[in-house]
Amino acid sequence: MSPPGVPAEANRIHPCGGRMSEEHPEAQMGPEDIAALTDSAEFQALCNYRPPFNLFRALGIQHKEHPHSNFMAFLLDPTETHGLGKGFLEFLLNRVESTLAHEVESIGPEDIRVHREYEFIDVLVECGADGPVIGIEVKIWAAEQTDQIRRYQHMMTKRFGRRTKRMIYLTLKGGAPDTQDRNSDVKCLPLPWSFVLDEGLPLPKGESGLFLSQFKEHIDFMINGDSNLQDLVKDLFKDPMKAQAVRRAMEIRQKLFNKDVCERLQHRIRADYQLGTISNWQGRLGSRELLLQINEDPWRDAPIFFVFYDFLSELEPPTGMHVLISDHGFREDIYLAAMNDYSGQEMGSLQHPKGWWDRWRVAFPTDSMERRDFGWRIPDESFGDSWIDAATRCFGEAFRQLQPIVERYSAGLASGESG
């Protein structure tokens, strides 16, 4: 497959004038091709580029919803020190339902109350004793929780009776929530974060105006990316051979990354599982599949349990991934056929095999939440649940070690440094 903007036929042209393999155009690329890439002016410009100062990034909160909710509550409170009065509240309401803004015009600033985490709603604004009540759910990358918006709508109906009630769903793209109750009297209003980029947003003078300007730049960066960086990447990819070299270098880097994580994971599990030994460690880095066989006693051959781990992650600069456990349960079926394929042992004679099945969520900061399944397989239930619990604990600790490793490699990709 060609990189973006590169014709397919360009993949087959070697810089020395020869034709590259149509099936594997990068197979004939050598060190000199990578050197030509790294020595090029376009690559050097990309490596030397530094993004403009971003206070939210400097504080490490550019993707955290809690600080964004705090700042939204600060701007919406007309009694705060930002100097906008009701300006930001009216500006926001005009973007979702202008009649709400008209209702707020006659309400004094001192009669507007702004709450944080009101019955789990990120921000809730009460406009006077009988005026509109506005709930705001702030999302950056997180997905909706089960029945989340529906629960908020039900709570607002119960608490605020006949008052005008609205639920604003604030996300990067402004899509409607899947968990809303469309029949509720609390109408749900989707709103994209890009609303703060509107030229109609009032900017106060002084330090608060400067901070709000930085906030707008931060939102623009989250939505549209770094345009200067994108231009540098486009310049690099104008040369088909440089584009191929980038692709090849990334493939090599991904393999080295997987190898590093596998070795660290193996070392961590060996350290954590002190009651037994790891007698068999099989890794297939191409598909990133690992099989771990752990014995209760180093002097016996019969395994206590097997763990099948599918390590499937693709680094997407400039951000990495987070590995979190989302589901945990006990299952009867453990797919013995798959175990036979990897272990080479006949397990069909075992009676009533059971195993733990842990589902892990691999979350990339993109629109979707990717899910990966990790199975805990116990070939013989007679050893008892305590061994399963021990396995879950030691592997849980091991997986927690993955996060800083991934972040370190992602940071290297983002800055253009070699790992």
**Run means of pLDDT, 10 residues per run, the chain, 419 residues:** 36 32 51 82 88 85 90 95 93 93 92 95 95 95 89 96 95 93 95 90 85 90 84 86 82 67 55 44 38 41 40 36 41 43 43 39 36 34 37 44 48 43
Closest CA to 278 of 308, 243, 304: 304
Other Cβ atoms less than 10 A from the Cβ of 298: the count is 9
Contact 171, 190 (CB under 8 A): yes
In angstroms, the CA 357 to CA 418 distance is 37
Paired tokens of 351: 């009676």
The secondary structure element, H or E, covering residue 313 is none
The reported pLDDT for the residue numbered 189 is: 96
In angstroms, the CA 376 to CA 339 distance is 11
Paired tokens of 243: 């584009």
The reported pLDDT for the residue numbered 63 is: 84
In angstroms, the CA 186 to CA 135 distance is 9
Paired tokens of 290: 């690992």
Quote the pTM value.
Answer: 0.56
85-93 long-range CB contacts below 8 Å, 24 or more apart? 85/109, 86/112, 87/202, 88/201, 88/202, 89/125, 91/198, 91/200, 91/201, 91/202, 92/168, 92/191, 92/195, 93/134
In angstroms, the CA 15 to CA 240 distance is 10
Residues with Cβ within 8 Å of residue 10, at least 6 apart in sequence: 2, 240
In angstroms, the CA 309 to CA 174 distance is 36
Question: What does the radius of gyration of the chain's CA atoms come to, in whole angstroms?
Answer: 27
The reported pLDDT for the residue numbered 112 is: 96
The reported pLDDT for the residue numbered 28 is: 61
| φ/ψ bin of 117: left (φ > 0), alpha (ψ from -120 to 50), beta (otherwise) | left
Closest CA to 244 of 28, 51, 76: 28
Query: Residue 34 is which amino acid?
Result: I
Paired tokens of 53: 């100062």
Contact 22, 237 (CB under 8 A): no
Burial degree of 297 (CB within 10 A; 0-12, 13-18, 19+):
exposed
What letter would DSSP give residue 316? Answer: B
The reported pLDDT for the residue numbered 152 is: 96
Residues in the chain: 419
